Chain A
Amino acid sequence: MKKVLGLALGILTAIGGFLDIGDLVTNAVVGSRFGLSLAWVVVVGVVGICLFAQMSGRVAAVSGRATFEIIRERLGPRAAGANLSASFLINLLTLTAEVGGIALALQLASSVEPRLWIPVAGLAVWLVIWRTKFSIMENVTGLVGLTLVVFAVAVFLLGPDWGTLADQAFHPSVPANEGHAVYWYYAIALFGAAMTPYEVFFFSSGAVEEKWKVKDLTQSRANVLVGFPLGGILSVAIAACAAIVFLPKGIEVSSLSQIVLPVALAGGKLALAVVIVGIVAATFGAALETSLSSGYTLAQFMGWSWGKFRRPARAARFHLTMIICLLVAVGVLMTSVDPIKITEFSVVFSAIALPLTYLPILVVANDPEYMGTYVNGRVTNAFALVYLVIIVVASVAAIPLMIVTGAGS
């Protein structure tokens, strides 16, 4: 059991990266419009995030430095400041969406209006950040969030035509009624969602919170290799459920209650209860991850004292940042804005933050002054350079595609 709990950081990071409210909806939308023909993008994204999270975890364990500190040291204040602005906005937008997502999921469970749940959700997230130990937080949210595996179970219970699904996945093609630009827009959105920078900020800062050292390198690798592929598999499962139920009928997914419908069809009320618990846990975990990331990025950029392992009085500005971010999130949500629409805009900022995040990680992972003998091997460097090219291409294409396709409509 201790071994499983030791993987909680990787699982929680992956939940926030692959299964937050924005991804839940995007995966279902993609499944209902494109079937599994974009599943290959998830695979590419999973390999990419595994590569870079592994590097940033290794850097944090060997040198004790978290990723945004390295970005500041290696890029200098100007470029790091650009990354900070973009990353901070992504975090804030995503945090707002997650708190809204918690409220939406609780509405599914209780039929109580989401606006009443929003302040409750915001307060609950803050209380966990304020008082609970990092390890307890990650263990509970990680394990409960794993109940989303019910989506994978539902795929089997729905008794799909495996041939069609396999055909869509392994011979991807743009469906007849969709344009090429929209296909590539969603491809970039899925790739950006898989490699969102806050995942590495959270993972490497979490590694410092857990005080991982050189002897924990195997544990770091296990966290990455279990957590992110699991997140990817569940992403594809959500798309598959939507592909099985909605694609043949041409129904477009737009709300949370539609996303859980395939699970209810497959397993009845029990499965529905399980998936709602899973969604609440996953959005809660993503809210924790994004609010902690806002604190980590700003504190590490400015050189402040940070960390949940310190009592709040010893990391005052770090905690104040997160309090302000949560208040802003709750404030924005009370204006009845749709939280899911908010996440569409974070794609734009991801485009800027992605290359400015991953280049310094790659450089420091090769720097013997930080890493001693634990620098990257040739194979890792080769893959990383390939991914750097993909990341730059995706970041350059993201905004034009977003404009041309009207954000995928």
Chain B
Amino acid sequence: MSLPPDERPPGLVLDARLHLLDRQILDVDGVPVCTVDDLEVHGVDGSDRPDGAQPAVVTSLLSGAVLATRVFGGRPPSSRWHRIRWAHVADVGTTVKLGVRGSELDVTWTERWVRDHIITRIPGGSHDPG
């Protein structure tokens, strides 16, 4: 018995595991920022435990699962997640492109830390190769 086809919703259709999770997030200049580790979904009325009674939308992309939890499973506590609000997303393709610069986001703080404390202290770190 074959199932009836769903009516096609207007707008792009995305399946979370197929198209969003583990995808690369690039900033407005095309520089990699982080990966999509999870999604935060809220009801349109603002509730954070929605059920089918009201529509629910993705409000933020979540990133920041540390290496250990990504490899072995489990989830870090919510205070350790970095949020990227959906409002910053400009395009979704094989990567997620943002409309803001990576340096303005919290999630890139380790990159900035390593850059400021280690890389720029080594001669040549701030110069283009050549």
Across the two chains, which residue of chain B brings its CB closest to A126?
A: B122
Interface of B is mostly: mixed
Contacts of B72 in A (CB 8 A): 81
* A341 at the binding interface (Cβ < 8 Å): no
Q: Which residues 72-92 of B sit at the A interface, judged by CB distance below 8 A?
A: 72-73
Q: Which residues 80-101 of A sit at the B interface, judged by CB distance below 8 A?
A: 80-82, 84-85
Contacts of B127 in A (CB 8 A): 311
Partner among A73, A130, A311, A316 whose Cβ is within 8 Å of the Cβ of B114: A316
* B10 at the binding interface (Cβ < 8 Å): no
Total A-B pairs in contact (CB under 8 Å)? 94
* A314 at the binding interface (Cβ < 8 Å): yes
Cβ of B24 and Cβ of A131 under 8 Å apart?
no
Cβ of A303 and Cβ of B125 under 8 Å apart?
no
Cβ of A303 and Cβ of B33 under 8 Å apart?
yes
Cβ of A311 and Cβ of B128 under 8 Å apart?
yes
Contacts of B23 in A (CB 8 A): 73
**Given A65-B94, A312-B125, A320-B119, A305 contacting B111 (CB threshold 8 A):** yes
* A369 at the binding interface (Cβ < 8 Å): yes
Across the two chains, which residue of chain A brings its CB closest to B36?
A: A303
Q: State the Cβ distance, B13 to closest chain A Cβ, in Å.
A: 13
Digitize B113-127: 1 where CB-to-A-CB distance is under 8 Å, 0 elsewhere.
Answer: 011001110101111
Cβ of B129 and Cβ of A302 under 8 Å apart?
no
Q: State the Cβ distance, B97 to closest chain A Cβ, in Å.
A: 12
Partner among A78, A308, A316 whose Cβ is within 8 Å of the Cβ of B115: A316
* B31 at the binding interface (Cβ < 8 Å): yes
Contacts of A85 in B (CB 8 A): 71
CA distance A22 to B104 in the complex (A): 46
Contacts of B114 in A (CB 8 A): 316-317, 320
**Given A133-B129, A308-B129, A316 contacting B94 (CB threshold 8 A):** no
Number of interface residues of A (CB under 8 A): 37
Contacts of A73 in B (CB 8 A): 22-24
Cβ of B128 and Cβ of A69 under 8 Å apart?
no
Cβ of A317 and Cβ of B22 under 8 Å apart?
no
Cβ of A84 and Cβ of B71 under 8 Å apart?
yes
Contacts of B65 in A (CB 8 A): 77
Cβ of A131 and Cβ of B124 under 8 Å apart?
yes
Cβ of B22 and Cβ of A77 under 8 Å apart?
yes
Contacts of A310 in B (CB 8 A): 31
CA distance A305 to B26 in the complex (A): 9
Digitize A349-383: 1 where CB-to-B-CB distance is under 8 Å, 0 elsewhere.
Answer: 00000000000000000000110000000000000
* B67 at the binding interface (Cβ < 8 Å): yes
CA distance A74 to B95 in the complex (A): 13
Q: State the Cβ distance, A71 to closest chain B Cβ, in Å.
A: 10
* B2 at the binding interface (Cβ < 8 Å): no
Partner among B71, B94, B111, B122 whose Cβ is within 8 Å of the Cβ of A81: B71
Cβ of A370 and Cβ of B71 under 8 Å apart?
no
Partner among B70, B120, B122 whose Cβ is within 8 Å of the Cβ of A77: B70
Cβ of A369 and Cβ of B94 under 8 Å apart?
yes
CA distance A320 to B25 in the complex (A): 21
Interface-centre pick from B24, B33, B119 (highest chain A CB count, 10 A): B119
Across the two chains, which residue of chain A brings its CB closest to B68?
A: A81
* A254 at the binding interface (Cβ < 8 Å): no
CA distance A77 to B73 in the complex (A): 9
CA distance A76 to B112 in the complex (A): 27
Contacts of A72 in B (CB 8 A): 22, 35
Cβ of A312 and Cβ of B119 under 8 Å apart?
yes
* A255 at the binding interface (Cβ < 8 Å): no
CA distance A81 to B102 in the complex (A): 25
Cβ of B111 and Cβ of A131 under 8 Å apart?
no
CA distance A80 to B35 in the complex (A): 13
* A319 at the binding interface (Cβ < 8 Å): yes
* A304 at the binding interface (Cβ < 8 Å): yes
* A306 at the binding interface (Cβ < 8 Å): yes
Point out residues on A near B: beta carbons under 8 Å: 63, 65, 69, 72-73, 76-78, 80-82, 84-85, 130-134, 299, 302-306, 308-314, 316-317, 319-320, 369-370
What are 8 pairs between A and B in contact, CB < 8 Å? A69-B24, A81-B70, A82-B71, A305-B31, A305-B111, A312-B125, A316-B111, A369-B94
3 tightest CB-CB pairs across the interface, nearest first? A81-B71, A303-B35, A316-B115
